[in-house]
Structures are given as structure tokens and as C-alpha cells.
Amino acid sequence: MNLIYFIIFSILIFFPIELSATEENIFKFKNTVELGITIDDLPAAGPDIPFMTRQEVSDKLIKTLKEKKVPEVYGFANGTLLYNTEMQKKILTDWKKAGYLIGNHTFAHLNLKNVSAEEYIKDIERNESVLIDHASSVSELKVFRYPYLMEGENLDKRYSVRSYFKNRNYKIAQVSIDSSDWDFNEAYLRCKKLNLKEKENELVEKYIKNIVEVLKYNEALSKYIYGQNRKTPQVLLLHFNSLNANYLGLVLDKINKMNVKFVSASKAFNDSIFQEDSAIPMASGLPFYEQVRRSHNLKFEGYPFPENNTKWLNKQCEE
């Protein structure tokens, strides 16, 4: 018997057993959470990528979304990114061929805090004229995502833009889950440039954890605001970048195991909840449920506020 125990012990030491997905301690929401997925800054988000073309980013993202059976993703495009080559235009064509939608994200990715409402509206209209050849219909294009989630630092500016939207039959594509992937992507590019694979893996793990925590926080917050019996939709904001091209599959696998159901983006942000006007001036952009919390002066302590990773990310793979 001692020999048998020795053999078993030796096997466990040298060939550790990997837990299967079913054996992991996975958090699951009690009730199914419906999540719509949106991707900003088509066709070329973030800094230049030394190890991938923009076309490769597009191909990988579309492939992943198809493999994970994500329905009707809404992409928000900036006309200024359709510069100098036919590749950017082809990326939008491929996006449409995949069955996804294209919305307005201003032509020059403007921050409403830095320009007048009149300049902002002109930029929206300029983007319309560029993107109309790529969207299937005018109504498809008249779904708007605020760059930086900034809706106006004062109410005059906020309602000047909203009045324009009402007159032109625009819909606002709100966000509840801000992934901060743009911040992670910059650190990711540095790690790739320096070929620091262990750091890259650590960063990706933290990125996935960040999305999980932001999702858990906003699901808890939305239930606190609207009640446990109200199904509260979630909308995930991602960007058209290399980090997501290579790792979005892991993100979607993780949140899918949490009893999250992927639904069309339109279904999610057309929910009546997202039609509420928080009516608050913004010093910086905010996801929707946080806007509502502040507008009602609610104090929420039902789940820890997700960690801000910017300082940690700035220190990763420094050159």
C-alpha cells in the first residue's frame, strides 16, 4: 500500500490536475442578466498596432462574435477614421456583411465638454454624410453614442444636443458597463512591444476581472434603483482594438458562465429604463446607472465600487 501511495503522490506532484470549468467556483447571478454588446471607434480604435493590421483586428473581432453567438452588435463609427486607405472602408463593409449595425459617434470623436453644442451638432451631421453609404438605413445610423460618455457639463448644452436629437429622431445608445478597455489596451500594446508575455497574461487576467466586477456592481446598483423584480438590461462598451481582437473570446466565456445572456444591442438600450433622463450636468462622462443614482441622490453600498486600475496600468511594461 505504501508503494501505491508513493506513486499517487508522485503523479500529483509532477502532473498537477487542472480543474475543469464545471469545478471552478464561478459566480452566477440568481436571475439571468441580459447583456447587449456595443463596440466604439470603428474602424480603427487606439494607437497604431505594430503586430496586427486593422483588417486583422476586424477579422478576429467578427470571428469571435460569431463563434460566441452574440446577436446584433452595434458598432459606433467616426468618419475621421475612414482616412487614407480603402481598408477602413472595407472594415465597415465587412462589419455590415456580418449582420451588425453602424451608429453615429461624431465625425471627429469630439468631447462635448470641449466644444459648443453648435459645433458638436455640425460634427454629428458631418458624420452622417460619411457613414450613410455604409449603414443599411437612416434610422440605423440615427443611434448615437456620446464619445467619452460626455453628455454636457451644463444643462444648456445638454439640452441643446438632446433637443436636436428629438427633432431628428435620434436615439441615445446608453452604456451601463464601461470596460475601460482603452486604458488596458495602451498597457497591452507596451507589453506586446517588449514581448513580456507574463505581464501580458497578468494584464489580461486583470482586464477580465475588471469587466466582471463592473458588471456585478452595475447589476446590483440597477436592482437597488429599480427593484429586484425589474429586469434591468446591461450594455457593455468595448472598443475596436487589438486587446479585444485577441482576448474578447475569454471575456465573453467568463461572463456567459455568470448566467448572462447575450441579446441584441438594440433590445438592451431600447428598454424603457434607458429612456430616463438623468438631467444632471457632468464633469466627466458617466455610465447610465451611475447617472441615475446621482440624479436621485442615492447612497449605494450594496456592492463595492470597482477598483480604478489606471495607476496600476500606467506602471505596466514601462519603457
Whichever domain contains 65, its CATH number is 3.20.20.370
Inside any domain, residue 217:
yes
Inside any domain, residue 10:
no
Q: Give CA torsion, residues 260, 261, 264, 268, to 10 deg.
A: -50
Instruction: Tell the residue number behind the cell numbers 441615445, with chain if given.
Output: 172
Average pLDDT over residues 93-113: 97
Which residues lie across from 144 on neighbouring strands? 104, 172
Inside any domain, residue 253:
yes
Inside any domain, residue 160:
yes
Inside any domain, residue 319:
no
Is 135:105 a contact under the CB 8 Å cutoff? no
Inside any domain, residue 5:
no
Inside any domain, residue 13:
no
Query: Could you tell me the sign of the dihedral formed by the alpha carbons of 81, 86, 87, 89, in that order?
Result: positive
Residue 214 belongs to what domain range? Answer: 30-314
CA distance 275 to 291: 12
CA distance 195 to 217: 34
Inside any domain, residue 21:
no
Q: Which pLDDT tens digit goes with each residue over 218-276? A: 999 999 999 999 999 999 999 999 999 999 999 999 999 999 999 999 999 999 999 99
Q: Which pLDDT tens digit goes with each residue over 189-206? A: 999 999 999 999 999 999
CA distance 26 to 32: 15
CA distance 159 to 165: 9
The per-residue DSSP string of 184-238 comes to: HHHHHHHHHHTT-HHHHHHHHHHHHHHHHHHHHHHHHHHHHHH-TTS---EEEEE
What is the total count of domains within the chain? 1
Instruction: Tell the residue number behind the cell numbers 482586464, with chain if given.
Output: 207
Residue 296, pLDDT > 80, answer: yes
Q: Phi and psi (nearest 5°) for 159?
A: -85, -20
Q: How far apart are the first and last CA of the chain?
A: 57
CA distance 47 to 91: 17
Question: 249 Cβ partners below 8 Å, 6+ apart?
Answer: 64, 67, 68
Higher pLDDT, 14 or 276: 276
- The pTM is what? 0.90
Mean pLDDT taken over the chain: 91
